A and B are shown apart, each in its own frame.
Chain A
């Protein structure tokens, strides 16, 4: 990338490459899940309180994950990992429960049937997020080393 030299000096993490797309998909999923859950809770909460509450919770976690992935330094990195692991556990556990105990999840939540109502995006996204977060750590370290090298060269 031609502008990497100037960008490596910045302390803020660069949101480059596919990470940017990942964060966009996260944001859209967060919006979709939260808005839909809010509607379900306002309009028909008593029909399936558990499924709708879970949808809202997942919506909030997607929002936290979106912000944490954007920041992803220090505490935010830990928060991002927790949010991603929570989502992955959620989609696996609720996905399995919705098939084993369908009466509990008669109405769709984001995670029912492994997120099939959302084209299985909720199943794939946390995995992609974790892969990216691991790879991103490598580039972040490389960048700090770069910056140190530049400083050292500057002193000489």
Chain B
């Protein structure tokens, strides 16, 4: 795992969370900003999947158990896309809160992934 990239995902996920809180406070329904930020987090996680596949071949091995790392990564990857999909098929104001919860969960999970990788 590349440390700065992991930190970038966490920062972006927290930012997406903040955008969600602001949008919810302004009584918006899911829009390009909230959904876009969440999808961006999802795309960065996809990039992280590629990184995690390539990293061991370049000598960057996980200190912890790779199996545990991958379980976190796959779960984290599903969340933003699932939440964005649910927000699209049912565009209610509270869908933004769902995006908030999901983004903060992703931030925590990426932190855990960084601890496992070492």
Contacts and interface: CB of A to CB of B under 8 A. Distances in A.
Contacts, number: 42
Contact of B101 (A25, A38, A42): A25
Nearest to B97: A21
B75 interface: yes
A122 to B, nearest CB: 15
The 3 closest A-B pairs by CB, nearest first: A24-B98, A21-B97, A35-B71
A28 B71 contact: no
Contact of B92 (A20, A32, A35): A20
A38 B68 CA distance: 10
Given A20-B92, A24-B83, A31-B75, A43 B98 contact: no
B97 to A, nearest CB: 5
A154 interface: no
Given A20-B95, A24-B83, 6 more contacts: A15-B90, A16-B92, A17-B94, A32-B75, A35-B72, A38-B71
Interface in A90-106: none
B94 A18 contact: yes
A39 B102 contact: no
A42 B102 CA distance: 27
A77 interface: no
B79 interface: yes
B23 interface: no
A3 B68 CA distance: 44
